[in-house]
């Protein structure tokens, strides 16, 4: 115990009690806030720990027990005071290693190796759990809120400037007089292209919100780190000034050496309050440093990496887009979009990097000039006026009903994902496509990570929506996006809580806002807090369940009609082979019924 001569000082046990009281007060305050938030419907009243939260709690308790038991063992072996051994255990497991306390006995040095190895690994697991809990769970909720804020602001700005034509459906309230003489096929194609542009706008909103969210997380973690640095330096200075005459710079230097785990040992706390505060402070500083490094990897490190690649592309290592194209992109960004506004579609690898703009491509495609036919076929989309027409509609082919039932045809239908192709009329083939897509989306969900979730293109989304009954070419189910929507505010006159609003499912939003929806609206599937593959998987599964339930109901009606001698309309629509199979099944059921009656009589 270190203290000035002839002066009363508080022991380390007193200061540990003080830090414990502060922690209890903070936890109690947070619990009061949580109860108040649940009472006012800002938080959910159901509080159930997730597996990650349970794991973090158990890991934290085990690590603390491990530190305290290790301190007890080493204090006995090395003849240290117990609380000094707790300080030594924290310095050791946090890999700082000041050297003011070190084992000197053979037994202590021998036990140090397994103790430190197990402790460092366990502490790393705790820090990893804290990182995943803070970053992953906070990222999704913050993403939803920031996307909604960015979406509302952009829609409001476009509406004020009159640039909201992209948000208006082709057949809206002001549209019937203007499009009365336009062919229906052309209207559907125009609506499909408008929805695609709307989808791209929503992707842009997601990108901008994601960038802002990453930099906001970086700013918050950096601010927290600086608070621990500056405020911690002040506290250490006050504790150590009577004993070592520390200035603020000495304490500032000590904090930096500790946060970076350099640990020279030229500055170490010797006071009771300083050593106890170090244990409390290190438990907060190390996870904060880890989160800061992770956020820096998503922002600062990414900017440096992208800048290095861009510099290499315009100097000695031209990329796949070509030197000219990369150079134009750099000038376009440096001039804030003033130079080189045209969109570049095709590039030829090489130093010169010949480019081809969108206007040149369309001109060549319309004139039918020879060129890279493979590239032209690959870049042409079904929405283009010059797109390659889809295969002929084979729906309802009575002459060759086995054509759609072929496994090869089914696989091709499931693999194309062309929203402009009609769905097969045969329920078996339609169910096969649903099952194939459910398997594919399940694989996407398993392979995606929380940091890089699976994102689908517009054509894939249009295909999935078509499978569940939505048609992106039909303007009747679309509406113009609104700057801000507050759920059922128009109905009951009250604003719902943000958590309730964002927890609503896509179906609930459509029921509250109407059947019409927009990609840039608050009821868009891209606005949810769940991943896209998870949303699509749920809807496809629900659709398949409804289809099978409907098919089962029809079969029951047909069997009931045949059992009682009725001839229903649905039974007349089936072919003879199906009627024969169903007749055999009904006869079998009748025979089983007769046998059961005989058994009861016996």
CATH number at 141 reads 1.10.287.70
106 vs 117: CA distance, rounded Å: 18
**Domain shared by 279 and 164, yes or no:** yes
Q: Looking at residue 373, what is its pLDDT?
A: 35
Q: Looking at residue 600, what is its pLDDT?
A: 41
Helix (H, G, I), strand (E, B) or coil at 384: coil
Q: What is the DSSP letter of 392?
A: P
Q: Is the dihedral of CA 534, 540, 545, 546 positive or negative?
A: positive
464 vs 453: CA distance, rounded Å: 18
> Is residue 376 in some structural domain?
no
**Adjacent-strand bridge partners of 357:** 344
Burial of 42 by CB count in 10 Å (0-12 exposed, 13-18 middle, 19+ buried)?
Answer: middle
119 vs 568: CA distance, rounded Å: 75
The domain boundary, picked from 300, 324, 344, lies at 300
**Domain shared by 291 and 434, yes or no:** no
Q: Looking at residue 593, what is its pLDDT?
A: 45
Query: 0.75 cut: is pTM over it?
Result: no
In 3D, which of 383, 219, 202, 240 has the Cα closest to residue 295?
219
Q: Which structural domain, as residue segments, surrounds residue 151?
A: 49-300
The domain boundary, picked from 494, 526, 545, lies at 545
Alpha-carbon distance values, 17 to 1, 13, 25, 65, 277 (Å): 17, 6, 12, 17, 11
* Angle, CA of 543, 547 and 553, to the nearest 5°: 145
Q: Which residues of 154-174 are buried (b: 16+ CB within 10 A; e: fewer)?
A: bbeebeeeeebeebbbbbbee
Q: Looking at residue 98, what is its pLDDT?
A: 92
**Domain shared by 421 and 276, yes or no:** no
Q: What is the DSSP letter of 101?
A: S
291 vs 218: CA distance, rounded Å: 9
Q: Looking at residue 301, what is its pLDDT?
A: 82
> Is residue 81 in some structural domain?
yes
Q: Which residues of 509-530 are buried (b: 16+ CB within 10 A; e: fewer)?
A: beebbeebbbbbbbbbbbbbee
**Domain shared by 127 and 251, yes or no:** yes
95 vs 293: CA distance, rounded Å: 17
User: Contact at 8 Å (CB) between 223 and 246?
Assistant: no
542 vs 544: CA distance, rounded Å: 5
Share of the chain residues as helix, strand and coil, in percent rounded to the nearest 5? 65, 0, 30
> Is residue 390 in some structural domain?
no
Q: What is the DSSP letter of 133?
A: I
User: Contact at 8 Å (CB) between 478 and 195?
Assistant: yes
> Is residue 338 in some structural domain?
no
In 3D, which of 587, 588, 549, 582 has the Cα closest to residue 568?
582
DSSP letters spanning 278-324: HHHHHHHHHHHHHHHHHHHHHTHHHHHHHHHHHHHHTTTS--TT-HH
163 vs 238: CA distance, rounded Å: 60
> Is residue 368 in some structural domain?
no
User: Contact at 8 Å (CB) between 11 and 272?
Assistant: yes
464 vs 390: CA distance, rounded Å: 18
- Number of Cβ within a 10 Å radius of residue 508: 13
Element (H, E) at 21: helix 12-39
Per DSSP, the chain holds a count of helices (H) and strands (E) of 21, 2
Q: Looking at residue 245, what is its pLDDT?
A: 93
**Domain shared by 417 and 269, yes or no:** no
184 vs 89: CA distance, rounded Å: 77
> Is residue 142 in some structural domain?
yes
> Is residue 201 in some structural domain?
yes
| Conformational region of residue 468, where left means phi above 0, alpha means psi within -120 to 50, and beta covers everything else | alpha
599 vs 42: CA distance, rounded Å: 63
Our count of domains for the chain comes to 2
**Domain shared by 416 and 280, yes or no:** no
**Domain shared by 150 and 281, yes or no:** yes
> Is residue 10 in some structural domain?
no
Helix (H, G, I), strand (E, B) or coil at 549: helix
Q: Looking at residue 544, what is its pLDDT?
A: 92
The domain boundary, picked from 545, 560, 579, lies at 545
Q: Looking at residue 576, what is its pLDDT?
A: 43
* Per-run averaged pLDDT (10 residues), the chain, 602 residues: 63 93 93 88 77 86 94 95 95 92 95 95 87 71 83 86 80 54 81 90 89 88 92 94 94 93 92 93 87 84 82 78 76 72 44 38 38 34 34 39 44 66 86 91 86 86 90 82 54 36 44 67 81 91 92 88 60 44 45 43 38
Alpha-carbon distance values, 260 to 101, 127, 282 (Å): 20, 16, 12
């Amino acid at each position: 115990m270190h203290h000035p001569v002839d002066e009363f000082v508080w022991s380390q046990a007193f200061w540990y009690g003080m830090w414990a009281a502060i922690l209890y007060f903070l936890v109690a305050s947070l619990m009061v806030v949580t109860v108040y938030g649940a009472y006012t419907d800002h938080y959910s009243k159901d509080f159930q720990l997730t597996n990650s939260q349970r794991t973090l709690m158990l890991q934290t308790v085990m690590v603390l027990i491990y530190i305290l038991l290790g301190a007890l063992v080493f204090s006995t072996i090395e003849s240290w005071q117990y609380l000094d051994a707790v300080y030594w255990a924290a310095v050791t497991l946090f890999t700082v290693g000041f050297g003011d306390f070190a084992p000197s006995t053979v037994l202590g040095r021998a036990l140090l190796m397994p103790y430190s190895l197990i402790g460092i690994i366990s502490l790393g697991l705790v820090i990893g759990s804290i990182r995943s809990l803070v970053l992953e769970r906070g990222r999704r909720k913050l993403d939803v809120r920031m996307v909604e804020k960015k979406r509302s602001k952009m829609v409001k700005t476009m509406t004020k400037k009159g640039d909201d034509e992209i948000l208006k459906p082709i057949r809206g309230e002001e549209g019937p007089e203007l499009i009365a003489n336009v062919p229906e096929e052309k209207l559907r194609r125009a609506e499909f292209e408008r929805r695609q542009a709307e989808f791209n706008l929503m992707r842009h909103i997601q990108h901008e919100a994601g960038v802002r969210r990453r930099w906001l997380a970086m700013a918050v973690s950096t601010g927290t780190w600086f608070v621990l640095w500056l405020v911690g330096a002040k506290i250490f200075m006050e504790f150590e000034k009577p004993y070592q005459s520390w200035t603020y710079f000495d304490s500032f230097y000590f904090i930096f050496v500790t946060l970076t785990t350099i640990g020279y040992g030229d500055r170490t706390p010797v006071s009771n309050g300083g050593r106890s505060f170090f244990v409390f402070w290190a438990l907060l500083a190390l996870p904060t440093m880890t989160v800061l490094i992770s956020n820096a990897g998503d922002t600062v490190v990414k900017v440096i990496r992208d800048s290095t690649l861009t510099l290499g592309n315009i100097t000695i290592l031209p990329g796949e887009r070509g030197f000219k194209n990369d150079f134009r992109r750099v000038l376009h960004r440096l001039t804030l979009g003033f130079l080189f506004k045209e969109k570049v579609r095709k590039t030829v690898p090489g130093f010169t990097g010949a480019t081809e703009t969108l206007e040149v491509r369309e001109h060549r495609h319309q004139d039918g000039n020879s060129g890279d036919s493979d590239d032209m076929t690959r870049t042409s989309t079904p929405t283009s006026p010059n797109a390659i027409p889809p295969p002929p509609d084979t729906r309802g082919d009575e002459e060759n009903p086995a054509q759609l039932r072929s496994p090869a045809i089914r696989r091709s239908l499931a693999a194309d994902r062309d929203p402009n192709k009609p769905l097969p009329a045969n329920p078996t083939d339609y169910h096969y496509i649903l099952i194939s897509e459910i398997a594919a989306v399940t694989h996407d969900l398993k392979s995606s990570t929380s940091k890089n979730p699976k994102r689908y293109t517009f054509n894939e989304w249009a295909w999935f929506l078509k499978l569940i009954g939505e048609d992106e070419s039909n303007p009747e189910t679309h509406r113009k996006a609104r700057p801000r929507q507050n759920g059922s505010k128009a109905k009951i006159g009250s604003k719902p809580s943000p958590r309730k609003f964002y927890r609503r499912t896509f179906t609930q939003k459509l029921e509250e806002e109407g059947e019409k929806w927009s990609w840039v609206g608050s009821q868009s599937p891209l606005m949810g807090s769940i991943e896209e593959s998870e949303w699509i998987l749920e809807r496809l599964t629900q659709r398949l369940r409804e289809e099978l339930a409907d098919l089962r109901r029809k079969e029951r009606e047909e069997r009931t009609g045949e059992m009682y001698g009725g001839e229903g309309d649905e039974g007349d629509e089936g072919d003879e082979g199906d009627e024969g199979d169903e007749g055999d099944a009904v006869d079998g059921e009748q025979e089983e019924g007769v046998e059961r009656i005989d058994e009861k009589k016996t």
